[in-house]
Chain A
Amino acid sequence: METLFKPQFTLINYIGVKQSFSLALLIAAVALFFPLLNPEYAQGNIAVFTLFNVVALYFIAGVTWISLFYVNAILDAITSVSPERFDPRQIKMIDAIPHDTANKLVAPLRELARINDLHVAKLKEVAYSAGQVIETANAVSKNVQYQSDATSSTASAIVEMTHSLQEVSDKISDVHESSRRAATVAQDGKCNLDALGNSIYEVNVQAKQTQGRMQQLKGLAAQVEDSSHSIQNIAQQTNLLALNASIEAARAGQFGAGFAVVAEEVRELASRSHHSAEEIVTAALSVLQQCNDIVDDMANVVEKTANCSDRADKVKQSLSDIESATKDVQHRMEIVSTNAEQQSIATNEISQHIEQVALGAKANADIAKQSETVASHLKSLTI
């Protein structure tokens, strides 16, 4: 049939559907009505009349058939569009269909295709967003696992720290007792040291007194020395006079007059010697007395010193006790220090775990915020 109506198709291709249909109908009308309006001419030219009628019939049949052909062609074109891609550009209209008609026909499909493309794009975004949400959920899951691990570790560390703290508490009680003992010993030491101070003060006073008396003794000794010198001089002169008297007595023999003078002088000297000797005795007695006093004082000093020594020994003992107690305190403090160090390590671990928990919480908060944003975005895509 297409071959039969090929001329009409050609006509349509060249001048368009409306125009060719109009022209075809015009030709048919002329072919039909011309013989009717000119019957004489038609009777005389039966062949021409027949030709006119055939042409009219041909064009009318052609228009009818081509119209049906177009309807089928349009249906075929539309149904040939791939539903997956739904691109109206795939519709291949035959050239004969008027462009305006074809455009009007395709325009709604193009709009539908755009809406379809928009939905496909949104679906792609939704799919990608869903992937992001899954990744986010995984990230949250990991963070929660980290937090769980960190919390378990923190619990263990807290148990360890509790034991350590109990030990520290016990040690601190011992340290307190040791300190109390050290304080008592130190108090005793202080009392002993006070007594020692008093004793030493007394020794000092006694020593000063002894010093003064020794000074006096020195003066007396000087007097004794002077007296001794006088006696020595007198003794020398007496000796000389005695020597002279003996010489003169020997020379004069009978002439003993001078001897009497000498004898008088000797007596005088003897008297003075006696007097000096008495002074010396007196001074010597005084010195002796002073010496006795000094001996007594020194005895007191010795006694006091002995007391001081005893007290010093006691102080030494007290200080030894303090030293021992202090060493004990030091030892216990070392234990406390070790425990404190362990506590510090445990505290650091707890701190790190808590930090991890905090970081995890912050990461979760960020992720939650991102998830909220992504969810909002997903919601906006569905509007």
Chain B
Amino acid sequence: MIVFTALTIGFTIVFVALHYRRTIQINLTQKRGIQQVVAIKQLISYIQQHRGLSSAWLNGDESKQANLTQLKKQISLLKNATASQISASVKSRWEAFDDHWQRLQNTQNKTSALDNFQQHTKLIANLIYMLEDVAEFHDLNGSQLKPLPEIGLVWRELVLATENIGQSRAIGTGAATSKKCSQVDKIRLAYLQQDIANTAESVLHQLPLLDRSSNDYQQLTLAAKQKVSLLSETISNELIGGQVVNIDQTVYFNLATAAMDSLNQIFEYQINQVKQVLKLA
């Protein structure tokens, strides 16, 4: 009986130790994940800015050269800092991004504005997939973050919506500069506009929320919805609908940037919620 009791106690100790170890491992994985997600999101924002600046520079705006140089340094610093954190599960994506970024920089002077836009967009798409993969591989999903069951919408839909606005900003600013919106640009803008409008209507309301009565979040959502709706209407009326583009490029750029910023604020709010759940905040 003594042996049996001893074995039972031993097994119990092993069980408790394993449980504790598992809990710590999951928590650590999630902490690493959230760090990587934040870094990748910042990298996406930088690349989006680089897409706009390099597009303007390729269209002859030499004043953007200094900003581009500064931005490249920031991207390089962030990239180097993030490289060491990146998990093995997304290593191939990271290497693909690194290689693509290097090639993009080397061909910066030789490429066309359209190709430059497409290459940046592919690069950003890869980063967005990487962000979602990182979140999933680091247990930052609805299954593991029980208080935030729809957190997956943040890693995909919200980031994609921001990117769609970023693309519409780049295309629309080019059209507003040349005062002409080509048929292909109209098609792409129409597609993006549908997605942007859908984001304003549905996705923002489905995002997870720890405190449903939070005034801050309601204000953020309301502001984002208004800004995104305004941008969507502007795209529809000024760029897709009319034969001639009358809107000023700066006005349009600022509208799109404000909409992106409002979604980025919601993303930051969601990150803080995740940190709260993980007891990091």
Contact = CB atoms under 8 A, between A and B. Distances in A.
Interface in A9-63: 11, 14-16, 19, 23, 26-27, 30, 34, 41, 45, 48, 51-52
A92 B142 CA distance: 10
A246 interface: no
Interface string A118-131: 00010011001100
B18 A377 contact: no
Contacts of B141: 89
Interface SS of chain B: helix
B122 to A, nearest CB: 11
A373 interface: yes
A93 interface: yes
A11 B16 CA distance: 10
A23 B4 contact: no
A316 interface: no
B191 A128 contact: yes
Contacts, number: 75
Contacts of B11: 23, 26-27
A114 B133 CA distance: 12
A125 B187 contact: yes
B133 A107 contact: yes
Given A48-B4, A92-B143, A373-B182, A14 B136 contact: no
A106 interface: yes
Contacts of A114: 129
B71 interface: no
Interface in A93-114: 93, 95, 99, 103, 106-107, 110, 114
B182 A48 contact: no
Interface residues of A, number: 37
B262 to A, nearest CB: 24
Contacts of B111: none
B22 A14 contact: yes
Given A89-B152, A125-B187, A99 B144 contact: yes
Contact of B183 (A23, A27, A373): A373
Given A48-B4, A107-B133, A374-B183, A121 B15 contact: no
A19 B188 contact: no
Nearest to B153: A89
A377 B187 contact: yes
B93 to A, nearest CB: 11
Interface string A71-104: 0000000000000000001001101000100010
Contacts of A26: 11
Contacts of B143: 92-93, 95
B15 A14 contact: yes
Interface in B3-28: 3-4, 7, 11, 14-15, 18-19, 22, 26
Contacts of B238: none
Contacts of B137: 103, 107
A129 B22 contact: no
A102 to B, nearest CB: 8
A132 interface: yes
B47 to A, nearest CB: 19
A107 B137 CA distance: 9
A59 B156 CA distance: 42
Contact of A377 (B4, B89, B133, B184): B184
A30 B7 contact: yes
B139 A99 contact: yes
Identify the 5 closest CB pairs spanning chains A and B, nearest first: A15-B18, A370-B183, A14-B19, A377-B184, A19-B18
Given A23-B15, A129-B187, 13 more contacts: A11-B15, A14-B18, A15-B15, A16-B18, A27-B11, A48-B3, A99-B26, A124-B191, A128-B191, A132-B186, A370-B182, A374-B187, A377-B184
